[in-house]
Amino acid sequence: MRPTSLVISLVISLVVAFAACASGTRSDARGLYNHGIDLMAEGDLEGAEEAFVEARSSAGADQPLRYSTAFNLGMLHTRRADDLELSEPQKALAELQNARNWFQDAARVRSDDLDARANLQIVARKSQVLADQLKEGEKGLEASLDRVIEDERALRDDIRGLMEAVQTAGESADPIGFRDQFSALATSERELMADAGVVSDLAADELAGLDGQDPEQMEQQDKLRQMQLRSLDAYLQSARIAIDDTRRELRKLDGKRSHLRATAALALLKRAREQLLDPVAALKGVAQDQSALLSHTEARLALSTRKLTVSGEDAQPEAQGQIPAWLEPEHLSEREGDVIERTTEVLMRFQAASSVPPPADPSSVDPETARMLEMAGLAVPFLESTVAAMEKARDSLAGDAMDLALEQEIEAMRNLLRAIEHFSDLKNLIELTYGEQQGVLALLDPEQAAADPKLAELDTEKRADKAIQAVRRNIDRLQRMEALIAEQRTQATQQAEQEGEEAQGQAGQTFDAAETYRSGAESALGELVAALESISEGTQMAEDAEAPLATAGRAQNDIEELRRIFYTIVEHLKELHRDQSQTYDATGELQARDDADRGAFLPPLAESQAKHAALAEPLASALEKQADAASASEDPQAAQEGERFAAAAEEVRAALEALRAASRVLAQAQENATTMSVDLSPALEEQPLGLEHIQAAIEILEPPQDGEQEDQEQEQEQQDQEQQEEEISKQQAEKRLQEIRDREAERQREREEAQAAQGSGVDKDW
């Protein structure tokens, strides 16, 4: 049920608006506002929102109109949240956040208004309660910290918006006219600092409980958690200082410095949250940032050596002055320093975990934890090499030695990926092997090497050396797969024992085949290494190209068979859908940024989009092959399966076209970012189309089971019933609102008659 103050405020705002509705015109801002009130009373929330927003945009210096439109937009979003709370709580939470923003806006315009501030507090409490319900089951510390991060991000964006408003008003030198807005944000920062204090207390309570245990009898998980909490508290205290600094700068009406401090606070809060992440997840985040930095260093090197210019024309001496700020050596060096800190933190956690002596009774540690601890020890040397290479890269970047920095960044990336690889499960290990083997084939195939600009620069011996290194990495992976396949065989056999002899036989055949393909690939790669090591002259590879290439092809075929056994096309499609969704979100966030900010994030974004498009191509081909094979069968059931594969292949092909179109837009935007304003909206149109087609392919390949279909039907029936109840409630609400409107119209007529009798002036349109 909606709180009383919200209802009272809504009635008051509607009454005031209805009184003036008859005399207003829809050609001006106030007329638009009155029209929005009409639409809201009729239940047309979409139309009302559009009218209110347009009225708010056209309000100019009309403070009463700005207040009323913001207030009613807050009421509108609150009403939507009430309607969605039971059926779609996540959307309801988003509507409450929108309502909160509009009530904040109303409170800024009229700082002495109690209704707006009361409604703001009510909506904030409702948001908190709903967020807690959605996060039910998560640990309180993690959930609370996530909320603080989201609130600080929203405040930072509010500060940025206030800076734009100050600049638009031409009051940057002395923004005294925006004192109330600055003061409101400062108050919010003070409240947020208190929230961060609550998170700190939660961490301290949990840490106190761990510190009270006997160190010799503590479990490994508790020791790791203890270390995480101590690191978290250090960052959290620094974040609270930055939040307090933000509040003080806001009190001084200094938008620029407050924005910088808010950005720093957000970064520190995210670093605090990172301490609670699984270390492998943290390393993957580091790898993404290091990859982006590597691409920017490569771009900076290309600019400095005149391989490309920001204008796309031949480099000129003055082109150096056009190098974007995010490619300056100092900026790149600072980013490398941040990545070093984060990598070092994970390294210290792994070192601490691997240095703990094993328990006297190994069976007291569950197998998964034991494996993670073993992998942490194996990852330590690679992370140590990673940090060493990053430190050299940082120093080279600071000295503007981009060529040396790039070499060290590549080395750091290579070791970082090797560290992460140790935690891969069987499926991911197969994927890594498959990807590396494709690179081997490109190195050995003269036609592919000639078509790749980077490979074309290498002579035969260098290509052979690179191929040998890649093949040895794959041999190592295949050897590690043997234990993982055996482990999965044991699990599958135990499960099959409960299902009967037929299931046991199928499981045995599957894993026998997997081991055959694994050992066959390992044997072929061993032959390939021997053949490549015998090559000493560049001409020999060209002459003997068919033998190594054929051997590499045999290994590739065996690896592909492993993929078919353990990694289905549906799983690939689901992974593609997840990754493309993240890229879509990132594109939307980037579109909202200033042009000056976009260029720094475009290279990794464009690269990610290109990878998604590249992955869709082999998936479509694989589905088409399966469709052809099934259609050739005389079995009617197989023919039906062929139709399903063909339909899924068509969807993936359609997705591929959309993803390629989005990739072209982002690539062009990356090329133009330094010379002109770039618009990412065409990519934002293509990306959801691609996602829709991928989802359609998944649904074709994985239709809902009978139980799921029944659930969907029941859910649809429930939605229909709720919609009917909603229509009844809407009709009742409209009836009540119409009664209010009729009564107010009658009062208005009485006032007009009284004014006419007294000879008074024209009534105001408000």
pLDDT value, residue 156: 82
| 493 within 8 A of 504, measured Cβ to Cβ | yes
For 700-716, letters b (16+ CB in 10 Å) and e give bbeeeeeeeeeeeeeee
Residue (of 379, 208, 345) closest to 276 by Cα position: 345
- Residue 766 gets which letter from DSSP? -
Q: How many Å apart are CA 34 and CA 69, to the nearest integer? A: 10
Q: How many Å apart are CA 389 and CA 405, to the nearest integer? A: 9
Name the residue with tokens 């072929």. 524
CA dihedral 251, 256, 262, 263 (to 10 degrees): 180
Q: How many Å apart are CA 743 and CA 746, to the nearest integer? A: 5
Cα 85 to the center of its chain, rounded Å: 25
| 286 within 8 A of 342, measured Cβ to Cβ | yes
3-state helix, strand, coil in the chain (%, to 5): 85, 0, 15
Q: Using DSSP, state whether 757 is helix, strand or coil.
A: helix
CA atoms within 13 A on the CB side of 104: 21
Residue (of 210, 220, 265) closest to 243 by Cα position: 265
pLDDT value, residue 740: 47
> Which residues make Cβ contacts (< 8 Å) with residue 61, sequence separation at least 6?
none
Looking at residue 137, its amino acid is G
- The whole-number mean pLDDT for each consecutive block of 10 residues of the chain, a chain of 766 residues, reads 41 40 52 88 87 84 87 90 81 85 85 81 77 58 86 84 80 78 90 87 84 78 81 91 93 86 85 82 82 83 60 39 66 86 87 74 68 84 95 94 93 90 83 86 83 76 87 92 88 78 77 92 92 63 65 90 79 85 80 66 83 86 83 76 88 93 89 74 90 91 58 52 49 50 57 51 28
Q: Which DSSP string corresponds to 537-568?
A: SHHHHHHTTHHHHHHHHHHHHHHHHHHHHHS-
Q: Using DSSP, state whether 170 is helix, strand or coil.
A: coil
Q: How many Å apart are CA 357 and CA 369, to the nearest integer? A: 14
Residue (of 433, 441, 439) closest to 482 by Cα position: 433
Q: Rounded to whole angstroms, what are the CA distances from 12 to 9, 55, 234, 294, 603?
A: 5, 19, 49, 59, 52
> Which residues make Cβ contacts (< 8 Å) with residue 331, sequence separation at least 6?
325
Residue (of 129, 66, 126) closest to 102 by Cα position: 66
Name the residue with tokens 């081997």. 440
> Which residues make Cβ contacts (< 8 Å) with residue 302, sequence separation at least 6?
308
Q: Rounded to whole angstroms, what are the CA distances from 505 to 498, 501, 562, 601, 747?
A: 13, 6, 19, 52, 86
Burial of residue 69 (CB within 10 Å: 0-12, 13-18, 19+) is buried
Q: H helices of 252-319, where?
A: 255-274, 279-304
Q: How many Å apart are CA 265 and CA 149, to the nearest integer? A: 9
| 694 within 8 A of 576, measured Cβ to Cβ | yes
Other Cβ atoms closer than 10 A to 196: 27
Q: Which DSSP string corresponds to 64-94?
A: HHHHHHHHHHHHHHHHHHHHHTTT-HHHHHH
Take residue 296 and report the two structure tokens written for it.
Answer: 């920017």
Burial of residue 14 (CB within 10 Å: 0-12, 13-18, 19+) is buried
Looking at residue 405, its amino acid is A
Name the residue with tokens 């060209």. 542
| 580 within 8 A of 659, measured Cβ to Cβ | yes
Q: Rounded to whole angstroms, what are the CA distances from 716 to 698, 719, 721, 728?
A: 21, 5, 9, 18
pLDDT value, residue 250: 92
Take residue 468 and report the two structure tokens written for it.
Answer: 């040998």
Q: Which DSSP string corresponds to 697-713?
A: HHHHHSPPPHHHHHHHH
Statement: the pTM of the whole predicted model exceeds 0.75: no
Distance in Å from the first CA to the final CA of the chain? 30
| 525 within 8 A of 474, measured Cβ to Cβ | yes
CA dihedral 173, 179, 185, 189 (to 10 degrees): 90
Residue (of 35, 38, 58, 49) closest to 77 by Cα position: 49
Cα 759 to the center of its chain, rounded Å: 66
Looking at residue 406, its amino acid is L
> Which residues make Cβ contacts (< 8 Å) with residue 593, sequence separation at least 6?
601
pLDDT value, residue 389: 96
Q: Rounded to whole angstroms, what are the CA distances from 8 to 3, 18, 115?
A: 9, 15, 9
Q: How many Å apart are CA 599 and CA 495, to the nearest integer? A: 52
pLDDT value, residue 362: 65
Q: Rounded to whole angstroms, what are the CA distances from 745 to 21, 35, 761?
A: 9, 16, 19
Q: How many Å apart are CA 591 and CA 611, to the nearest integer? A: 20
